[in-house]
Structure 1
Amino acid sequence: MGYLIDFLKGIIIGIANIIPGVSGGTMAVSLDIYDRLISSISHLFKNWKDSLKTLVPILIGAVVGIVAFTYTIEFLLSSYTLPTALAFIGLILGGIPGLWKSFQNGLKKQKQTLSISHIIAFVLMFALVVIILPLLQGSGTSLTAIQLDPLSLIKLFIIGIIASATMVIPGVSGSLILMVLGYYYLIINTITIFISALRTGDMESLLPNFILLFVFGLGVLIGIFLISKAIEFLFEHYSSVTYSGILGLVIASPFAILYNTNALNDLQTSHALPFALVGLVLLILCYYGIYQLGKNEAS
């Protein structure tokens, strides 16, 4: 049963990682598997058996979530933007009570009280998501394909490392960073082409897109391993300040979702009222579901 639950949680993390403004790391925190996930990654070579028992079901679930919901998320965000955005805001908000408890535990562990360093960490990370990333965000959406040449593959590998580093940090959206770097729609397009080629047996499209995804995925795996070491160090030595910064990132995420999906534009359409009502119901249900998941995991 534990493997099945981790698999289902992996699916949610995978879905979160393909939505700009939604953080896979935040979902891991909300689902209360973040610490276990980071520890397994950073100790992969030292305790590989135990690490793989934790990582395999989560990673398989994440891949299933990414592959299965790429088309679905594109459809939902284009046709039902506001309800979809509010549902994911509910998922994020549902993890805040557990995150606040972790912050308080960090204070107790280090025998500290709320200080200016905690406030600075919170404000800086909040500003990163709400102010800095939107200012840096470029277009980069007109490109539809990645060239299969050595320079493009090297760039794609580096992009994978950068994106994965942000995927591991709660509150920072890897997809949002990809959008800032101008690679989000390129990666989504590559995934959809690969899936279509796999379904139809189109080898001419299958092989080059597999190579692109393999190079990107390799960068992602290396980036996750490297950043996990840094995150584990921060939690070990500066847990309360780290959690304070994460709280800033997480609380800012709903603003990033509404901004990057243009969800509020639905309020100016003829279906504003039903979309808003359905969205609020989904927000409450998703909040409750994630809150209960985190609560049960902690008990």
Structure 2
Amino acid sequence: MEFVFNIIKGVMIGIANVIPGVSGGTMAVSFGIYDRLISSISGFTKHVKESLALLAPILLGCGLGIAGFTYAIEYLLENHTFVTCMTFVGLILGGLPALYRAMNEKKAAGSGKMGAGAIIAFLLAFAVSAGLPLLKTGGDTLAVLPVNGSTMAILFVLGIVASATMVIPGVSGSMMLMILGYYYGIINTITSFLDGLRAMDLAALKDGFLLLAPFGIGVLLGIVLIARLISFLFERYGVQTYGAILGLVLASPFAIFYNTGLFGELSSLSVWAVLLGIMLMIGGAVVTNFVGEK
């Protein structure tokens, strides 16, 4: 059953990585597997069997979540923005008790103190997570990516940057891609590749592979690099690291609402939409607590 629950967690992490403003790292924190995930990635060569037992179902779930939700994301955010965002706010905030317990465990183990350092880390991380969406200016103009060497090189670098932000809780990799102007281009490339796979269109598959392969390699490299850094921080400065993660997570709802334009739409929401959003937020929090304990 643990394998199945890890697939479900992976699906939710994958979906979170597709939505601008939502962090896959935050979802991993909420499900109570973040530190284990980081340890498995950073120590993969030393503990291959144990690492695969955790990473395989989560990566499978991530792939399913990204592939399945890529088609739905634009429709849901355009037509059901509030209830979609409230669901993810609930999924994120539902993991706060587990995050707080983990921080106390690090304190009890002597990995840092709940002092000024943890407070400063919290405030800085909160400011970064809340301020990052404000950097977005204008629209995403590269809806269709040309298949050439320069684009492939750019996508490799973007993969490293995006994956690093995907791993860090509270910082959205998809939002970073949107800020850099490549979000919709990559989304369109994924959907075109999947369409080509269904139709067995070799030309579409070749173009998709040439663009997605360097991006995927960059993603894997970025995840390994940032995981080793975070693993070191957990070991040496556990409480301060969790303080920073707590700041990133608490700022996520603001980032989600701002990045999707919800602040300008709140006054026009119907009572039923608000009630449904609140219900889905509560439901999301319950799901996080339930799945996170499995």
Question: After TM superposition, is the score higher than 0.5?
Answer: yes
Q: Deviations over 1:245-284 (max 9, x none)?
A: 0000000000000001112444344x52221111110001
User: 1:65 — aligned with what?
Assistant: 65
Q: How does 1:149-228 map to 2 (within 5 A)?
A: 149-228=148-227
Q: Read off the aligned partner of 1:146 and give its amino acid letter.
A: L
Moved more, 45-54 or 103-112: 103-112
Contact 2:21 2:172 in 1 (8 A): yes
Offset at residue 292 of structure 1 (A): 2.8
* Matched position secondary structure for 2:275: helix
Aligned counterparts of 1:111 and 1:62: Cα–Cα separation in 2: 31
Q: For the Cα contact (< 8 Å) 1:138–1:179, is it kept in 2?
A: no
Rounded Cα–Cα distance in structure 2 between residues aligned with 1:122 and 1:20 = 22
Q: Distance in 2 between matches of 1:86 and 1:242?
A: 27
**Percent sequence identity over matched residues?**
50
**CA offset digits 1:29-75 (Å, max 9, x no partner):** 11111122111111122222221221111101100000011111221
Contact 1:266 1:272 in 2 (8 A): no
Any runs of at least 4 consecutive aligned residues in structure 1 with deviations exceeding 4 A, and if so which? none
Partner AA of 1:173 in structure 2 = S
Residue 148 of structure 1 aligns to which amino acid in structure 2?
Answer: V
CA distance in 1, matches of 2:113, 2:192: 52
CA distance in 2 between counterparts of 1:268 and 1:136 reads 25
Note the alpha carbon deviations across 1:171-206, whole angstroms, 9 max, x for none: 111111111211111111111111122222222222
Q: Do the aligned residues in 2 keep the contact of 1:80 with 1:275 (CA within 8 Å)?
A: no
Q: How many aligned residue pairs are there?
A: 294
**Equivalent residue for 1:239?**
238
Q: 1:111 to 1:237 in 2, by over 3 A?
A: closer
The whole-number CA distance in structure 1 between the counterparts of 2:63 and 2:287 is: 22
TM-score, normalised via structure 2 length: 0.95
- DSSP-derived class of the 1:72 partner: helix
Provide the residue aligned with 2:114 in structure 1.
Answer: 114
Does the CA contact (< 8 Å) of 2:111 and 2:235 recur in 1?
no
Tell me the distance in 2 between the aligned counterparts of 1:266 and 1:197. 37
Q: Which residue of 1 aligns with 2:93?
A: 93
Following superposition, the deviation at residue 21 of structure 1 comes to 1.0
| Partner in structure 1 of residue 261 of structure 2 | 262
The equivalent of 1:288 in structure 2 is 286
Is the contact made by 1:30 and 1:95 (CA closer than 8 Å) also made in structure 2? yes
Deviation, 1:140, is 5.0
Return the TM-score normalized by structure 1: 0.94
Q: Is the 8 A contact 2:111 2:237 kept in 1?
A: no
Residue 11 of structure 1 contacts residue 58 of structure 1 at CA under 8 Å; is this kept in 2?
yes
After superposition, the Cα gap between the structure-2 partners of 1:228 and 1:113, relative to the gap in structure 1 and judged at 3 Å, is closer
Between the aligned partners of 1:46 and 1:106, the Cα distance in structure 2 is 23
Q: Given the alignment of the two structures, is residue 275 of structure 1 paired with residue 264 of structure 2, yes or no? A: no
- The residue aligned with 2:38 is 38
Query: Contact between 1:138 and 1:182, CA under 8 Å: does it hold in 2?
Result: no
